[in-house]
Structure 1
């Protein structure tokens, strides 16, 4: 049940998608069905008795949100094997394992004309993404993924199987679903149930320009971003292009402006923005058009393999278009340590079910990523500071916790009262604090 460093499966489980921190736990527990969880916790208890030392339990599916080291005082609970996906097309509900990826969920859902509220990267697990709020390409029409969450089947710190839901019999479980909706969750989740939404005429694409046209492009973006339809979600970014596909060879090794844009309801809502930006400069690459769930996952141009990186992010207010050009310019130099800086448009997103974070705290999101190893951390932090000096005038006061790569904690992800309430729920579910708490709890 518990694997040591010499066992098959240990190495793969301790290589998270964000490999910026080392993971060398005392043991790994490979979870392939919900029934494995209680025995795994019991096995950890026996190991604690034999060693005389308490062990922290660290659940992990894909490790996109890995930020804190996992050392020999911990057991890593590998939930990537919980990959089951079931779609109820009549109820428009998905029931999936905590290790299922959005690629798997939407491949199944789109067979029925439906989609889940997935994010940018197809390899992200539904669990960590949803519990952190979940800002996806349908956010302006359908809201955050946390607001679509119906129920979570989970195990508490004593190994008891529970179901968090608004209509649960026990107050603990009614409180737990509130925490799962945006505060990182509590206990150990193994199965999620969430709403799916129709995508009758899905259009999406990625447009790339030489960064020489940044000034003209940002003028067009700033003027037209407020005119797009209510179902259009988009991201405007500066990107340091690697010499790899799918990027056009003309941009290899250069700095580009990147517009990722999507609308589940057809092409009309995006036309004003696309027309203005195409008129400002001719794109080197333009993939806008009808697409499917797989095509939607490609528009953000995320790296396909595990990457050591650190990130910075912030919710911004409605004044963001006024500072957008200056903000992206801080990452546009050929020698800038930040390889990707974006501004995501989320204004108008509806509020979902009651929960810790079920509505965007701002109209825009700033997000920047820098690779570790290529530049010293001090230089990266200086790059983040330069960006902060610009976006601080549009600061909405909070950080989108799941977008801060490589961070052990994200103390400004939640309002103070929400954080206190979520911590209290975690203490009730796991009174001995056996399970590592979400980094959103600070």
Structure 2
């Protein structure tokens, strides 16, 4: 039931997607089905008794949000095998295992003309992404993924199976679904049920320009972004292009301006922004057009393999277009430790079900990523500090916690009252604190 470091499967389970921290737990519990959770907790208890030391349980699927070290005082519960998928096309509902990736969900939903509210990276699991809010390419039309969450099947600290839902009989389970919608979730989730949405005419694409055009492109972006159609979601940024076939040869090893843009309702609403930016400078690469779920997942141009990295992110207010050019310029130098900085446009996103974070706290998001090894931590922190001096005047007060790579905790992810309420729920679900709490709870 529990794998030690010499066992096959241990290494794979302890190499999260964000590999900026080391994971060397005492054991790994491979969870292949919901029925494995309670026995795994009992096995942890037995191991703790035999060793004379308490052991923390750390649930992990893909590990995109892994930021805290995992040492000998912990047991990783590997939920990556919880990948069952059921699509109710008539009700527009997906029921999936907590380890299921968005690529798998949308591959199953797309033949029905439906998609889930996936994020930028197709390899992210539905659970951590949704519990952290869930900001994807359909956000301005359908809101955060957290607000589309209907039900969570989970176990509490005692190994009891529970169902978190708005209409649950027990108050604790009604509270648990509230916490699962954006405050990181509680207990150990094994199955999620969430809404799917229709995508009648999906268009998306990535456009790349030489960085020399950044001032003129940002002037066009700032002028047009406020009038962009309400179904269009987009991100404008600078990217230090790696030497990979994914990118045009003439941009490899250079700095580029990157626009990622999507609209599930066709090409018309995005045209004013695209036309204005193309008029300023001809893109080196332009993939805008009709696409499918796989094409939508490619527009952010994420690296194909796990990369040790540190991230920074913040919700920003409606004044962001006024400082956008200066903000991106802080990462546009050839010697910048920041290899990707973006400004995501989410203004006008609707609110769905009630929960901890179900409405974007700002109109824009600042997000920056710096790989470890390319620069020192001091240089990375200095780069983030330069950006902060620019974006601080538009600060909306909190951070999109799931976008801060490589952090053990994200204390500014939630307003104090939301965080305190979610902590209380987590402590009620797991009063002995056997299960590692979400890093959003600090």
| TM-score category (smaller protein) | over 0.9
Deviations 1:73-102 (A, max 9, x none): 000000000011110000000000000000
CA distance in 2 between partners of 1:187 and 1:304 (Å) = 31
1:394-438 Cα deviation digits (max 9, x unpaired): 000000000000000000100100000000000100000000000
What CA distance in whole angstroms lies between the structure 2 residues aligned with 1:243 and 1:374?
A: 14
How far does residue 323 in structure 1 lie from its aligned partner after superposition? 0.1
Alpha-carbon deviation of 1:352? 1.2
Aligned mates of 1:313, 1:64 — CA distance in 2 = 15
Cα shift readout 1:212-250 (whole Å, capped 9, x = no counterpart):
000000000000001111000000010000010210001
In structure 1, the residue corresponding to 2:6 is in which secondary structure? Answer: coil
**What residue number does 2:262 align with?**
262
1:139 — aligned with what?
Answer: 139
1:54 matched residue in structure 2: 54
* Structure 1 moving runs of 4+ over 2 Å: none
1:182-201 → structure 2 map (5 Å cutoff): 182-201=182-201
Matched, 1:419 2:440: no
Return the alpha-carbon distance in structure 1 between the equivalents of residues 283 and 200 of structure 2.
28
TM-score scaled by length of structure 1: 1.00
Match status 1:350 vs 2:350? yes
| Structure 1 equivalent of residue 338 of structure 2 | 338
> Per-residue displacement from partner, 1:292-322 (whole Å, max 9, x unpaired)?
0000000000011111000000000000000
What does 1:305-384 correspond to in 2, within 5 Å? 305-384=305-384
- Equivalents in 2 of 1:125, 1:230: separation in Å? 27
Aligned partner of 2:295 in structure 1 is 295
Shift of 1:136: 0.3
Who is 1:410 aligned against?
A: 410
Matched residue pairs, number? 442
Inter-partner Cα distance in structure 2 for 1:269 and 1:27: 52
Partner in structure 2 of residue 27 of structure 1: 27
CA distance in 1, matches of 2:342, 2:408: 22
Distance, in Å, in 1 between the alignment partners of 2:65 and 2:353 is 24
The answer to whether structure 1 residue 393 and structure 2 residue 396 are counterparts is: no
- For residues 393 and 419 of structure 1, what CA distance do their matches in structure 2 show? 24
Q: In the alignment, is residue 304 of structure 1 matched against residue 308 of structure 2?
A: no
CA–CA distance in structure 2, aligned partners of residues 403 and 330 of structure 1: 19
> Aligned to 2:356, what secondary structure does the other structure show?
coil
Q: CA deviation at 1:276?
A: 0.1
Superposed CA deviations along residues 270-304 of structure 1, whole A, max 9, x for unmatched, are: 00000000001000000000000000000000011
Q: Partners of 1:395 and 1:186 in 2: how far apart?
A: 29
Cα RMSD (Å) = 0.3
Gaps of 5+ in 2: none
Aligned twin of 1:121: 121
Q: Give the deviation of 1:383 after TM superposition.
A: 0.1
CA distance in 1 between counterparts of 2:323 and 2:187 reads: 41
Instruction: Tell me the residue number matched to 1:231.
Output: 231
Secondary structure at the aligned position of 1:423 is classed as helix
TM-fit CA distance, 1:26: 0.1
Q: Distance in 1 between matches of 2:8 and 2:187?
A: 27
After superposition, where does 1:64-75 map in structure 2 within 5 Å?
A: 64-75=64-75
Counterparts of 2:427 and 2:215 in 1: how far apart (Å)? 51
